[in-house]
Structure 1
Amino acid sequence: MRKTFGTGSVWEQKLGYSRAVQVDNTLYISATSASGENGIVGSDFYEQTRFILQKLETVLADAGFALADVVQSKLYLTDISKWEDAGRAHGEVFGEIRPTLSLVHVLPFLDPEMLVEIELVAQKSAS
């Protein structure tokens, strides 16, 4: 079984991707930034990470998953020296769940106000 989830973003159509793709009991979520209705939300790594994780919790819920189902998390940071700020926000959400984690240092994103992107993989136990 394969099911796609979108947000209606023009970028999804232009670039040919989905916000999330579910294959059987696994949900793969595209890298997500702190973009909101009025631009980028948050001016530092902690704030942007918190906002992104809130957005991703909604994506998970819309697909019938929960934060507790997350098995892998990847944080893409434009300044790796700020890993502790992003990590603190990540730990507040995933401290008890403890998915795998990658911290990846990247070049600036298309919008220089974007400091963080997060990609998740979630899996439900087979029923």
Structure 2
Amino acid sequence: MSVQTKTFKHGVPWEESFGYSQGYLVGNTLYISGQLSHDDAGNFVGEGDFETQVRATFKNIDKVLQKFGATKENIVDDTVLVVNLREHWDAVQRLHLEYFGQHHPASTTIGISALALPEQLVEIRVIARLDLNQ
């Protein structure tokens, strides 16, 4: 028995240069690559502004979810990577709760020294299930 797969790309340059998809659906499980703060043209958004970066990152997650007919309520797990976590801890907690509301997926937050782009302060990856009863 084979499992159906489907992928999605935002169309930003680094997808081809790095060789990955933003979303990869395997059966009913959607794996969303680490999202960051960029606009539709691939321009970085929110340099030096942690809150703007987190909000834009969640918007990019929503765009990938939408392409597969899902919403944030389908997310079962997320991993949040934060540069200078101690400095941004209160903000990341508040923004995470604001985004998810009453939906509480499994979650891991990791403080790191750097991300792919020098101005990048946050990256978030998620796993979603499309077969959840909502």
Which residue is 1:86 aligned to? 92
Structure 1 counterpart of 2:69, one-letter code = G
- Does 1:67 pair with 2:72? yes
Which residue is 1:2 aligned to? 5
- Equivalent pairs, count: 127
Compute the RMSD of aligned alpha carbons.
Answer: 1.7
Which residue is 1:58 aligned to? 63
For normalisation by structure 1, the TM-score amounts to 0.90
Contact kept? 1:25, 1:126, Cα under 8 Å: no
Contact kept? 2:76, 2:105, Cα under 8 Å: yes
When structure 1 is superposed on structure 2, of 6-15 and 35-44 the one drifting more is: 35-44
Gaps of 5+ in 1: none
- What is the Cα deviation at residue 126 of structure 1? 6.5
- Does 1:98 pair with 2:101? no
Structure 1 counterpart of 2:79, one-letter code = K
Deviations 1:32-59 (A, max 9, x none): 1112244222533222111111121111
Identity of aligned residues (%): 31
Gaps of 5+ in 2: none
- Does 1:15 pair with 2:15? no
